[in-house]
Amino acid sequence: MTRWYYRKSGGIYLYPKTRHLYLHTKENLLCDVNDIEPKGALKQFPNASDANEQRSLLAMRQLSLLRWVMRSDLDIQTEPYFKKLSPMERQLLDHCKIEYSEAPPEGSWQIRPTKPPVT
């Protein structure tokens, strides 16, 4: 992830809110299990066999969330891979100040643009 972030046209050009989510997600991959944010995020996987499996499942969901937000930055409006956001994912988006709205089940998801105004 670090190589991707610093390569030409890589993550260094992320919009600030998306960059915050990227760095937060990356930190969760590297930090001690007790330091994972949001607190209690691993508890959303009670059927996992151990903390490593919980962390793996969390990483998949958070990286999927990151891809969804990055697509939104490119004006590609899609649904997240996991159709329903968990309370912890909502908390993470709120923490990163990424505004989103859910339409009814038959509608589509939207993330409010994070792009700065064109001057």
Task: Give which of 23, 21, 29 is closest to 5, Cα–Cα.
Answer: 23
Task: Give 99's Cβ-side CA count (13 Å radius).
Answer: 4
Please give the model's pTM, rounded to 2 decimal places: 0.74
pLDDT string in tens for the chain (119-residue length): 777 776 665 667 778 888 889 999 999 999 999 999 889 999 999 999 998 999 999 999 999 999 888 888 887 777 777 777 888 888 998 888 888 775 434 444 555 555 554 55
d(CA 47, CA 44): 9
Q: Which residues pair with 100 in a beta bridge?
A: 111
Q: What confidence score (pLDDT) does residue 107 get?
A: 43
CA gap 75, 64 in Å, rounded? 17
Tokens found for residue 73:
């930055």
Place of tokens 């505004």: 99
Please report, for the chain, the start and end positions of each structural domain, with discontinuous segments joined by +. 16-111
3-state SS class at 100: strand
Whether 45 contacts 61, CB under 8 Å:
no
The answer to whether 110 touches 103, Cβ cutoff 8 Å, is yes
